[in-house]
Amino acid sequence: MSTPLAVPANCLTPYLIIADAAKAMAFYQRVFGATELFRLADAAGKIGHAEMRIGEATLMLADEYPDFGALGPARVGGTPVTLHLYVADVDATVGLALDAQATLLRPVKDEFFGDRTATIVDPFGHRWHLATRVETVSPEEMQRRWDSAMAG
């Protein structure tokens, strides 16, 4: 483990509440190549706060604490939030995720906006939109392609 990073102002950081944060951390390490920065855990191992790095981004997470209103997706009927993560190889990452018990929502596919994408739900109820950039597309070209797709 390393030390916490200095955080710049105006830095948006996802904070996930998870029914089994330690297992989720292992999943994120295996599937996304996350690195654990640190964790604060009680004597029983319940995580009150942890931080990980995925690429250049920090991910914060903790176990559920219902008495504080900290509830994971299963307790609130799922999540309306999707985490978007660029990866080096979306096909390989989806394969790792499925091997680690993630659920595939949208299969890998090339998109009009230049990304190869897929959507999974991790075993802890959090939805991830995974992508690999395969083509750089200007906003004008994206709009043209969007208009064409919407026209049928």
**pLDDT at residue 1 tops 80:** no
pLDDT band per the 50, 70, 90 thresholds, residue 12? confident
Question: What does the alpha-carbon distance between residue 107 and residue 117 come to, in Å, rounded to a whole number?
Answer: 8
Angle at 140 between CA 135 and CA 145, to 5 degrees: 65
> What pLDDT does 73 receive?
96
Do the bridges between strand 127-133 and strand 115-121 make them parallel or antiparallel, or are there none, so unpaired? antiparallel
pLDDT confidence bin for 10, thresholds 50/70/90: confident
- In 3D, which of 23, 37, 97 has the Cα closest to residue 105? 97
pTM for this predicted structure: 0.90
What pLDDT does 11 receive? 80
- Residue 139, burial from CB neighbour count under 10 angstroms (0-12, 13-18, 19+): exposed
Q: Give pLDDT, residue 131.
A: 97
pLDDT at 119 over 90: yes
CA nearest to 132, candidates 149, 151, 146, 111: 111
Tokens representing residue 82 in the block: 């999707």
Encode pLDDT of 53-76 as tens digits.
999 999 999 999 999 999 999 999
What is the length of the chain? Answer: 152
Percentage with pLDDT > 70 across the chain: 94
Decide which of 12 and 32 is more confident: 32
DSSP 93: H
On average, the pLDDT of the chain sits at 94
Label residue 90 exposed, middle or buried (CB < 10 Å: 0-12, 13-18, 19+): buried
